[in-house]
Every structure is written in structure tokens, then in C-alpha cells.
A and B are shown apart, each in its own frame.
Chain A
Amino acid sequence: MRFKINIKDLIFGVAIILILISIYLAFIYTPTHTTMGDVQRIFYFHVASAWLSYLAFGVTFVTGIFYLKSKDFKWDKIAFASAEIGIVFCTLAITTGPLWGKAVWGAFWRWEDLKLFITLVLWLIFIAYLALRANAKSKVSKANLSAVFGIIGFICVPLSFAANRIWQQYHPTVIATSEGSLQSSMGMALGISVIAFTFLYIYLLISKVEIDTMREIIEEIKQKVGG
């Protein structure tokens, strides 16, 4: 237990340091974007948040499969924690996306932009996932049903991505080429911020799982003491 806490704090420390480095890189080290100006600097943490939410939902998907195979509640706990963290960062990604969009395109939201669209779909699916868990009647059915739903939801995302591509050909628009003029220093800044957020994710996941485990144990003791 002692050792585990140390690892958790270590990860938190690494995450903080990496975040500070990436803030430095994002604001000072990288040059101002030639066409989009300074506002392009939103990009580094916007993309990192989006990445973190994809990673988190992916973990929910994989641990859902592990749970169904093993019926071990440990996996269910991780799946739930990861989904919640995913929702938080997905929310950050879909609020910062429009802010950037407004500056670059002049509009907050472009329904034609696939990345925005898919991130929104993911957000809806995992909001529904959390609603499912909140409405489950027992611990067993909560774990079973949410694992199944998480798997279905995650599988459908690439399919939805593909389906919406044809829908967009139907309404042709100019695709913003943000990556088109990405310089190598910008790429590195992005890379560092993505790594920083990945460490942040691991820290949050461990904390959340620990809290949920502790809450469960306390509930159990309370029932014993009360009865």
C-alpha cells in the first residue's frame, strides 16, 4: 500500500513537470502560426484533452471486455473510473474546439468537421454509459450491462466516423488544413503535452479507483456496524 501511494505521487509529479514544460513550449518555444496567429496555441492542449478522452474511453472498452471474460469487479471499477475521466476531458475538448473554431473559421461549431462531430458522438455515448450505470438495479447487472454498452458504443465510433464521411461529401465544404502547416517544433510541443496528459490520466485513474474502492469498504463496514 505504501509503495503504491509513492508511485501515484511520482506519476502526479511527472505529470505536473511535463505540463509545465509543455506550457513553456506552447507559449514561448513554438513560433506563432503563420495563418492562424497566436490563437493556434489552443491547439496543444485541445488536442491533448481529446487524446486523453479517446484513451480513457478505449480503456473503458478494453476493461469492459476483461470484465465480461473474468467477471472480476476490479475491471468494472477501472472501466467506470476511466469513463468518468474520459467524460471530463471530452467536455474540455468539445468546449475548447469551438473557441478555436470561432477564431479560425468565424463560427463556433462546424457540423461538417468530422473530428468535432465524432468527439461529440463519443461524448453522447459515454454520457449515456454513465446514465446507464446510475439507473442499474444491482451491482452485478450494473457491471454486466455497462460493459456490454461500453463495448457496443466504442465499436460504433469508427463506423460512425466512416458513415459521416459520406454524409459530408454530400455537403462539400472547405476542410481546414491545420496540420498542413505544422512545423516540427509545434509537433514536439504537441507530443510533450500529449505525454503530459497521459501521465495526468494515469494519476487520475489510480486516484479514482482508490476512492471508489475505499468508498465500497466504508459502506460495507457501515452496514456491519449498523446491523
Chain B
Amino acid sequence: MNKLKILSKSIWVFHFASAACNNCDIEILDVLTPRFDVERFGVKLVGSIKHADAMLVSGMMNRKGAEFLKDLYDQAPKPLAVIAFGSCASSMGMFKVSYNRVIPVDEIIPVTAYIPGCPPRPEAIIDGIVKVVKKLRGEI
């Protein structure tokens, strides 16, 4: 039984917002709501990292937040998919000159997928989820 295949059927998402502008976070919630409804794919938002199968990281990593990212990644039960969400998380975007920045997400923890956009449109998010699912199943 392929563990990741099962995982792809039921992805419980923990949302880690580092220094984000809120839009990514709002759009994450948005895909749960009636128009987009990702519960169709078994996606659910959970409050505790211990229940998570995927960690959505949004926003740029600032000095106070980056520390916790590593911690939370360690605390999560594996296998765990990490999704860098939005431009800031993917590449630090316009905050690359901020004095409070640290290093990008993918240099702290391994990232499974990037969903770019500022913020990513819900369609892009769903596309990202589908790609994560495919990747977990080994189709990509």
C-alpha cells in the first residue's frame, strides 16, 4: 500500500502564516468556501500541526517566525507535504530587501510544491493541490 497514495485522498492542511499580507491566508480559507469547496478532494483545515498532512506556508520568513517553521516541521507527523504559498513564500518577493528577513522557506525545510501568485487565485490553488496530489501519487 503506497502511503502517499492514501495521503493524497485526504489532505489535512495546517496553515502556517509567517509574515504575510493576509491575502494568501484569506484565499486559503476562500477555497474551502462554497464556490471552490476543496473538501471535494478531502482537504480539510486543521488547527494542530500534529494532525496535519500538508503545511501551507505563506508570507516571507521574518526573524521571529522562521524559528518556528523548523520546529513545527519537526513536530509534524511524517509524511508531510510542504507547500510554499504565494510569491513571498516562494521567492520572498518584494521583501527581499527587508531588514527583518531571513532565508527563503525552501532553505529551511524541504518544499514539495510552490504555488506562485500574489495572491494565487483560488483556481491556481486548486491547480496546485491537484499537482501536489499527483506528485504524491507519483504521477509527476
The judgment on whether A and B are partners is no
